[in-house]
Structure 1
Amino acid sequence: MLTNFLVKSIIKILNHKFYLINLSIISLTFGFFIASILSTLPAQTGDWGIISAAIIVTFNEIISKIIYCSGKKNKYFLKLLNNIKIGILYGLFVDAFKLGS
């Protein structure tokens, strides 16, 4: 009885952790995808570079303020939002390195 309970509870905890890890990886790759969209679409005309950079910086600062001033409310949603933000920043750095080489 006790061993069945322990095994079931361990499996439940591990499944929950893998679910959160999967969501984190998906949100990071979604942020990376958004970064590739943001870096290619405004560059078609050539004159939207500064405006799109200002929008991206403003978006990142607003998300950072929401995440770090909210406390413990909606912890998982804020982690996913932060992972999307990290994915966007990582994608923009990768695009910058591609352009620099």
Structure 2
Amino acid sequence: MQTRLFRIIQQLFSSTGRKLQRFQKNFAEIFVALFSGFLLGNTFGMFLTPIREVIPWDGATILLALIICEVLGKFVYQRTFNKVGFWFQFLKFLNSAKIGVLFGFFIDAFKVGS
């Protein structure tokens, strides 16, 4: 005889197992994307001088970077998007790199502020 609590616990363990398998499968590529994005975010100050020749206002550069981040997040997190295939995996990779870039900006802001 199965109680409702037993079924809930059983579903919890089975879903946790699936999530763990998915994490183990994708860990390396997500880690590489995060680290690459972090390095790009930390070295963004080096690329700022050549960008200033094209876009003279720094606010426009930051606004463009934020718009790209938000549009990428919209495509990754919308519910109606096809969650399988090469393009979705590529978008997830770009999203992980985006998170790394934003983390690099955050760390770099602390370095500038101190």
TM-score by length of 1: 0.69
Task: Tell me, yes or no, if the aligned pair for 1:67 and 1:82 is still in contact at 8 Å.
Answer: yes
Cα shift at 1:48: 4.1
1:52 correspondence with 2:61: yes
Which residue of the other structure, out of 63, 70, 76, is the alignment partner of 1:61? 70
Q: Which residue of 2 aligns with 1:87?
A: 100
2:6 corresponds in structure 1 to: none
Task: Work out the CA distance in 1 between the residues paired with 2:30 and 2:95.
Answer: 9
- Runs of 5+ in structure 1 lacking a partner? 1-13
Letter in 2 for 1:59: I
Matches within 5 A, 1:25-44: 25-43=31-49
State the alpha-carbon separation in 1 of the partners of residues 77 and 59 from structure 2: 27
Q: Is the 8 A contact 1:30 1:84 kept in 2?
A: yes
Moved over 4 A (4+): 16-19
Percent sequence identity is 29
Whether the 8 Å contact between 1:28 and 1:86 is mirrored in structure 2 is yes
The CA RMSD measured in Å over matched residues stands at 2.7
Shift of 1:87: 0.2
**Unaligned regions of 5+ residues in structure 2, if any?**
1-20
